[in-house]
Amino acid sequence: MTPLLIAAGVLAAIGAAVATGARDARIAALGLAGMLAITPFVADPLPQPLSLAFGAAAGILAAFFMFSAARRLAEPLGPPLGPLAAIATAAAGFAVGLGATALSLPRGGPEAALAAGLAAVAVAVGPIAVTRDVFRLGTALIVLVGGASLVAEALAGTPDPLTGIAAGVALVVLAAAAGALAAGSVTATGGTAIPDDPLAGRATGSRSGAELR
């Protein structure tokens, strides 16, 4: 466990906390960019240079999609956890990840990856479980996938380049989909708050409405 790896892990965890806890949507997108750009570097051994560059570029592109969505939005609803609570949750997740290494958990990657991954997963769970805003949901889903790739790396070791490319593509697709979701929500409802479910509580739905076509 080198100080550089720990520093990279801490930066990724802080990025995840900012992405899910910042009140301003654009700052949240910047936090996402920080987390996703640093994530490929939390590995031992480091991936091949091309794979490393692809992972960082994919992360920045994914964050750019969310930043573009954030610029077009009126201010979304606040995060379920405030900034301080998000940072505290990330710190707790990071500590649990580092502490797990003391239990000799079988793993093939660095402790810093497990710590940063658990921190990211910990801050993402809240906005996903209690969804009030589609922008916050999209950001949290991206943080969750990024965190999961860190945890998987800690357990199975540095992934082969093709798996790294697949992870990068999945992040970009998810970010594009989250951006489209936010844009669709603004068009349909004028905001990013989750709309009421018109079909909830009905025994059967009907496809005859013009909206469904």
Partner 1 sequence: MSVLAFAAIALAGAVVATLVRGRRHAGTLVGFAAVIVALGSATVIRADDPLQLGGGALGGDAYLRLVLSLCLGGGLLVLIVARLATWPPSAPGVLLGGAAGIGLALGLAGAPAALLAAGAATGAAATLALASPAAPSRVRALMRELRGAATSTVIGVIAAAIVPATSGVGRVAEPAAASLVLVGMALVMAHRFGAIPLHARVSRLADVAPSAALPVLGAWLPAAWGLIIIGWAPSALGPYASGLGAERGLIVALALLTLLFGTLAALVQDEVEHVVAYTIVADAGLALLALAALDPAARDAARGWLLVFAATRTALIGWTIAFRAAFDTGRLRDTGGWLRRAPALGVALAGILVAAVGWPGLLAWDSRLAVLQSATAGPALLLGYAGSLGTGLAICRMLGVGAGRPSAAVAGAPGELPRLPARSEPGIGSAGTGGSVPAGGLATARAIMGRIRVRISVAGQDARPALELNRVPLRAFAVLMLAGLACLVAVGAFGIEAAARLPGLAALPPVAGG
Binding site for partner 1 (CB under 8 A): 43, 45-48, 50-51, 106-108, 121, 128, 131, 134, 137-138, 141, 144-145, 147-149, 151-153, 155-163, 165-167, 169-170, 173-174, 176-178, 180-181, 183-185, 187-189, 194-199, 204-208, 211-213
Chain position carrying tokens 């609803």: 77
Report the residue number, 83 or 122, with the smaller CB distance to partner 1: 122
Reduce the DSSP state of residue 26 to 3 states and report it.
helix
The DSSP result for 81-128, as a single string, is S-HHHHHHHHHHHHHHHHHHGGGT---SS-HHHHHHHHHHHHHHHHHH
Nearer to partner 1, 84 or 105 (CB): 105
CB of 67 to partner 1, least distance (A): 18
Nearest to partner 1 of 83, 159 (CB atom): 159
Q: How far is the CB of 2 from partner 1 (least distance, A)?
A: 17
Tell me the closest approach of the beta carbon of residue 84 to partner 1, in angstroms. Answer: 26
Pick from 166, 192, 194, 168: nearest CA to 57: 168
| β-pair partners for 193 | 133
Nearer to partner 1, 82 or 195 (CB): 195
Q: Which is nearer to partner 1, 50 or 95 (CB)?
A: 50
- Chain centroid, CA 2 distance in Å: 25
CB 146 within 8 A of CB 35: yes
Give the residue with the Cβ less far from partner 1, 5 or 174: 174
Q: How far is the CB of 172 from partner 1 (least distance, A)?
A: 8
Query: Least Å distance between CB 23 and partner 1?
Result: 21
Are 100 and 106 within 8 A, CB to CB?
no
Q: Could you tell me the sign of the dihedral formed by the alpha carbons of 73, 75, 77, 80, in that order?
A: positive
Q: How far is the CB of 171 from partner 1 (least distance, A)?
A: 9
Q: Please, which residues have CB within 8 angstroms of residue 80's CB and are 6 or more apart in sequence? A: 126, 127, 130, 132, 136
